């Protein structure tokens, strides 16, 4: 497996741009960014290679998964122009039909996760129908020992009241209240800066696959 380790130099760049988030500093220190970006691209190349050994995902150059470092500030009160992290979304299939994987690398805040983040009302309706029909399947997945070890529980915003069409006494009502359903695992700095980062993400990915697949089916993927 192609393996690149995230270095302390990349962390140093991300810390520096957080403290110097302006165009003059960035242009003056662009070589630091280019080095960090190249390193992150190497990491993504190795990770995607590893994922493809676990399941077939759409063919795509690793660089295409990487988010730009430039922030979209058009509708934001925060006008700082650059992100202080590297991140990627790895699509597992057609958008809105399969759960994607999200990777976030940032000193003190690195994580991986995936699931249902911002579904349309129609997609959310399908998801709730699947939960109501096959809650036993979902419970089996999220109560599995490895799932709990890797992710703990489902996260996401919830309604305060039952969604339309469901009663409060529905035995699955707490699942049905979810407006988002995703899982996440924090990645400690020591792990991110080690050769175990990709193997650990792949281990978590395997544990996440039943969860992803459950909602893939709900969405029609």
Instruction: Report the predicted TM-score, pTM, of the whole model to 2 decimal places.
Output: 0.93
- Residue 161 contacts residue 88 (beta carbons within 8 Å): no
CA dist 221 → 38, 93, 131, 208 (Å): 33, 8, 16, 16
Percentage of residues of the chain with pLDDT beyond 70: 98
Domain coordinates in residue numbering, the chain: 8-219
Answer yes or no: is pLDDT of 146 > 80.
yes
Q: In whole angstroms, what is the distance from residue 178 CA to residue 119 CA?
A: 11
Report which of 48, 40, 147 is spatially closest to residue 100, judged by C-alpha positions. 48
Q: Confidence class of residue 97 from pLDDT cuts 50, 70 and 90? A: confident
Residue-level pLDDT at 23? 95
Residue-level pLDDT at 121? 94
Chain Cα centroid distance, residue 176? 22
Q: Kindly calculate the radius of gyration of the chain based on its CA atoms and give it in whole angstroms.
A: 19
Average per-residue pLDDT in the chain?
95
Q: What is the pLDDT of residues 75-89, one digit of tens each?
A: 888 889 999 999 999
Residue-level pLDDT at 72? 87
Q: What is the pLDDT of residues 171-199, one digit of tens each?
A: 999 999 999 999 999 999 999 999 999 99
Residue-level pLDDT at 75? 81
Residue-level pLDDT at 1? 55
């Amino acid at each position: 497996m192609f393996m690149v380790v995230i270095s302390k130099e990349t962390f140093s760049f991300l810390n520096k741009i957080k403290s110097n988030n302006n165009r003059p500093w960035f242009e003056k220190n662009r070589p630091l960014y280019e080095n960090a970006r190249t390193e992150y691209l190497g990491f993504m190349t190795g990770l995607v290679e590893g994922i493809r050994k676990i399941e077939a995902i759409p063919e795509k150059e690793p660089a295409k998964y990487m988010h730009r470092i430039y922030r979209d500030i058009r509708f934001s009160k925060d006008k700082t122009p650059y992100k202080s992290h590297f991140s990627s979304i790895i699509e597992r299939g057609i958008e809105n039909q399969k759960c994607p994987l999200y990777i976030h690398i940032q000193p003190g805040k690195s994580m991986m996760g995936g699931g249902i983040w911002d579904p349309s009302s129609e997609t959310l309706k399908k998801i709730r129908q699947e939960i109501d029909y096959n809650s036993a399947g979902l419970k089996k997945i999220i109560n599995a020992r490895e799932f709990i070890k890797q992710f703990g529980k489902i996260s996401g915003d919830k309604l305060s009241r039952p969604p339309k069409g469901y009663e409060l006494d529905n035995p699955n009502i707490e699942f049905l209240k979810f407006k988002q359903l995703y899982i996440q695992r924090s990645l400690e700095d020591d792990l991110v800066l080690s050769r175990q980062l990709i193997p650990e993400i792949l281990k978590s990915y395997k544990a996440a696959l039943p969860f992803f697949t459950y909602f893939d089916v709900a969405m029609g993927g």
